[in-house]
Amino acid sequence: MKVQVLGISGSPIPESNTDRAVKQILEHTGLATEFVKLSELQFSPCRACLGCVRTNECVIDDDARELAHRFRDVPAFVLGAFTPYSSLDARTKAFMERMYCLRHRAGGNQGKAGVSVITTACPPGVENLPPAAETAASQIAFWMMEEGMENLGSMVVLGNVPCIRCGYGDTCPVSGIKMIHGPDATVESVGVKTFEQDEALGQYARELGEKLRAAVLRDP
């Protein structure tokens, strides 16, 4: 069956919150979907060589060239990212850049319907830390805007700072747990967050999936 919605995750963590949220949105579309984990592919960012202008085919012979074929052929997508250093992760950014090859003359990205998932360890409103989720969501939203895509929404998932599972979260002098949650916070008091714990996110995943479905069926 022809894939109608492509789910892409920039998170390298196996079965991460990002992956599971993307997959749940895909499931709620009720359409033919495919999930791609960018960390399982080998590819580099755009070289800005303009070798793709005439052919809409990237000259870099790596996995993103084939991924661009798959992206070209779907009317809708879910793009999931996480927020190292309070910004969009590098794989997701490189993916967005590499889809540039579809743009020239053909406008191959125009009209696609998309939603984003941003997983961040920093809850909203923490003083003295950058707004990681807003920054990453804007980066994807601006890409969609510049490519003439239809942005149907963005989900923010509260995930986990790596210090929760590194083994030194309570004693490390630069522990992210204390940086985000304060000097008295511990691995135990913060705990491991899962996408499934938050019922509202489950509802929102359904809503986003249904919006994607409506967009695809309206404009297959």
Chain contacts with ligand FMN (rule: CB under 6 A): 11, 13, 16-18, 82-86, 119-122, 132, 159-162
In the complex, minimum distance from the CB of residue 81 to ligand FMN, in angstroms, rounded to a whole number:
9
Query: Of 109 and 119, which CB lies nearer to ligand FMN in the complex structure?
Result: 119
In the complex, minimum distance from the CB of residue 10 to ligand FMN, in angstroms, rounded to a whole number:
10
In the complex, minimum distance from the CB of residue 57 to ligand FMN, in angstroms, rounded to a whole number:
33
- Beta carbons within 8 Å of 89's beta carbon, 6+ residues apart: 10, 11, 81, 82, 83, 136
In the complex, minimum distance from the CB of residue 127 to ligand FMN, in angstroms, rounded to a whole number:
14
> Which amino acid is present at 118?
I
Secondary structure of 71-85 in HEC code, one letter for each residue: HHCCCEEEEEEECHH
Query: Of 187 and 215, which CB lies nearer to ligand FMN in the complex structure?
Result: 187
Q: Which residue number is nearest to ligand FMN in terms of Cβ?
A: 159
Do residues 195 and 9 touch, judged by C-beta distance below 8 A? no
Do residues 46 and 64 touch, judged by C-beta distance below 8 A? no
Calpha distance 168→163 (Å, rounded)? 7
Query: Of 11 and 92, which CB lies nearer to ligand FMN in the complex structure?
Result: 11
In the complex, minimum distance from the CB of residue 67 to ligand FMN, in angstroms, rounded to a whole number:
22
Query: Of 109 and 120, which CB lies nearer to ligand FMN in the complex structure?
Result: 120
Calpha distance 160→177 (Å, rounded)? 9
17-29 vs 199-218: helix crossing angle, rounded to 10? 50
Query: Of 110 and 189, which CB lies nearer to ligand FMN in the complex structure?
Result: 189
